[in-house]
Structure 1
Amino acid sequence: VLINNQPFVINTENATVEKIEPNWRQKILNTIASPEIAILLLLIGLYGLLFEGYNPGAILPGVAGVICLLVAAYALQVLPVNYAGLGLILVGVILIVAEVFVPSFGVLGIGGIIAIVFGSIMMFDSGIPGFGISITFVVGMALISGSFLFWLVNFLIKLRRRGPVSGQESMIGGIGFAMESFTGSGHVWLDSESWAANSSVNIEKNQQVKVLAMNGLVLDVEPI
């Protein structure tokens, strides 16, 4: 070997070989620093935060999403990342979300899946052995993204069809029962609460009633 431009001979004939095995911490960090694991954590983190945004109060998806993103940030820090590929993955997720709000007939969603696929291929295209992405993994990412798009569209369609779940609009058409026999003013039980009610016809105690209108805190009802 050359040290300060001076040749030195290292005699290793009788050298002792000592194997140093990685400890459990190093094994975990090495697993996390795998390109495929890094991309998977990144997508899980993004989708977890999106799910929490569409379903506030779920808590678990949001917490899991933040944890996965932080762990993915560690992995991306130690890996040779192509930031053009990372940008494509982020754009792909944005396009999938935009598909829900823009009537593009699937164009944005399909474009998002394509962006995620190419982003996954480009993200670790460094030519370094051991840092490649398998085609099986890329296909799996495409299927996961497509499944998330399908779920997201169906979730929002059901949400829009459900209609109001609170306020005056949610009371109209509600079914309850009379707490007493009355004609005119009385009380009914609806949504686990007692309500003042008016009826132009006679209603018997425990008879089911339907809400026709709501005037302040008084319900207009009719017997069923």
Structure 2
Amino acid sequence: GTFILLAADVAAMARGTSVGAAHPVVLTGETPKEEDPLAQKMVNDAAARIRAIAELRGRNADWAERAVRESITATAGEALELGIIEVVADSIPELLEKLEGYELPDGRTLHPAGLPVREIYMTLKDRLFSYLADPNLVYILLMLGLYGLIYEVFSPGIGLGLVMGGISLLLALLGLQVLPINLVGIGLILFGVLLMVLDAFTPTNGILTTGGVVSLIIGSFSLFDIQSPVIGLSWVTVVATVGTLTLILVFIISKGLLAQRQPARPLTSMAGLTGVAKGDLAPEGWVLVRGEYWRARCEGEPAKEGDEIVVLRKEGRRLIVRRHWRGH
């Protein structure tokens, strides 16, 4: 803010405000030690830049440099006396009134009286980016996206999981471009998701799911390369998000695959049963038979979503079906 104020053609402040404390800090809010060469480089560069700006505008360059090196501040009245600003005004109308006839150092004269005042607000894109600069929100969107896509894998057809998961994942990727991230953290999160998916197809009694959750948690805490706890990812967000979504996903998948993990039934118990195609069978897809979802392959004419099918036989965990014609 001090840099912007000193760079303006006309510097103004309102009573009750202050300016200064322009010592450089890093993104995380922390400052390197003074003996650190990086800290000295940052301070020297900022001090030289603000002095050049102040000299260009004919303002107090010594005070400007001290504001960077010593973090000194000044009230509105003090800033006016020190030659840091030109005007003290408590409102925009008062500011415009005091600037009427004001002559700039380059010879131009201001006549703002009677001119319309237009306020410029943040655009929708700017507001979106400001929200996505929060690592907690980006993390929640990332988890919702990944879990939504996992749910879609086990759900026949294209539904809520793909829509919500896809949108959440894209927004999360947008936020990850703004924030400093650790590639190892992303790798651990993706690996944890992979383990949870594999556990749905292999009889490990939850070992892969447990490993997946552990990998998710470790990856979550190492995802963002931000050391400050003020703006970093909260552990409460990690535990609540991973725990809640994992419980929901395990419940849904276990219910959806419970029937297919039952002991094999005799062929006569399935052959001849009718059901409904829950997606286009061209030739493979999902069918619903007696309230249970099955992966199926259609023989003969492909069946479309909603068509009635009849079971011909069962091969492993897959049903062989054909389109059922009424009257046959």
TM-score computed with the length of structure 1 as normaliser: 0.63
Structure having the larger proportion of residues in helix? 1
> 2: distance between equivalents of 1:117 and 1:129?
17
1:146 aligns with 2:146: no
C-alpha distance in 2 between matches for 1:154 and 1:192: 23
Give CA deviations for 1:26-57 in whole Å, capped at 9, x if unaligned: 23321133111111111211222222221121
**1:34/1:16 CA distance change after superposition, 3 Å:** farther
Question: What's 2:172 paired with?
Answer: 72
Higher strand proportion, which one? 1
C-alpha deviation, 1:91, in angstroms:
0.9
Which is further off, 107-116 or 31-40? Answer: 31-40
How far residue 78 of structure 1 moved from its aligned partner, in angstroms, is 0.6
Q: Please tell me whether the aligned partners of residues 117 and 141 of structure 1 are also in contact (alpha carbons under 8 angstroms).
A: no
Question: In the aligned structure 2, how far is the partner of 1:122 from the partner of 1:47?
Answer: 19
CA 1:68–1:142 in structure 2 vs 1: closer, same or farther (change >3 Å)? closer
The match for 1:88 is 188
Partner secondary structure for residue 171 of structure 1:
coil
Show CA shifts across 1:166-215 (max 9, x none). xx9442599xxxxxxxxxxxxxxxx989xxxxxxxxxxxxxxxxxxxxxx
Deviation of the 1:112 alpha carbon: 0.8
Task: Return 123-132 or 18-27, whichever deviates more.
Answer: 18-27
Equivalent residue number for residue 157 of structure 1: 258
Say if 1:159 and 1:24 are closer, same or farther in 2 by CA, change over 3 A.
same
Residue aligned with 1:126, SS:
coil
Amino acid at match of 1:29: F
> Counterparts of 2:133 and 2:254 in 1: how far apart (Å)?
33
Using a 3 Å threshold, how does the CA distance of structure 1 residues 22 and 157 change in structure 2: closer, same or farther? same
| 1:189-204 matches, cutoff 5 A | none
Q: Deviations over 1:70-95 (max 9, x none)?
A: 11110001111111111111111111
Distance 1:151 1:173 in 2: 24
Match of 2:85 in 1: 13
Deviations 1:94-121 (A, max 9, x none): 1111111222222211111111111111
Q: Say yes or no: does 1:126 pair with 2:226.
A: yes
User: Scaled by the length of structure 2, what TM-score is found?
Assistant: 0.45
Structure 2 gap ranges (5+): 1-46, 61-82, 93-118, 276-306, 310-323
Counterpart Cα distance in 2 of 1:55 and 1:192: 19
Give the counterpart letter for 2:135 in structure 1. P
- Write the letter of the residue equivalent to 1:171: G
Please state if 1:2 is matched with 2:48: yes
Q: Counterparts of 1:95 and 1:119 in 2: how far apart (Å)?
A: 14
Report if the CA contact (8 A) 2:274-2:308 is conserved. Answer: no
Tell me, yes or no, if the aligned pair for 1:36 and 1:137 is still in contact at 8 Å. Answer: yes
1:41 maps to 141
Looking at structure 2, the residues matched to 12 and 163 of structure 1 have their Cα atoms a distance apart, in angstroms, of: 85
Aligned mates of 1:16, 1:89 — CA distance in 2: 54
- C-alpha contact (below 8 Å) 1:113/1:145 kept by paired residues: no
Matched residue SS, 1:123: coil
15-24 or 53-62: bigger deviation: 15-24
Gaps of 5+ in 1: 175-190, 194-216, 218-224
Q: 1:26 to 1:153 in 2, by over 3 A?
A: same
The AA in structure 2 aligned to 1:84 is: V
Q: Kindly tell me: are residues 58 and 23 of structure 1, through their superposed partners in 2, closer, same or farther at Cα, counting changes over 3 Å?
A: closer
Q: CA separation of 1:161/1:15 partners in 2, compared to 1, >3 Å: closer, same or farther?
A: farther
- Specify the structure having the higher radius of gyration (Cα): 2
Q: Secondary structure at the match of 1:51?
A: helix
> In the superposition, relative to structure 1, how do residues 131 and 163 fare at CA in structure 2: closer, same or farther (>3 Å)?
farther
Q: Count residues with an aligned counterpart.
A: 175
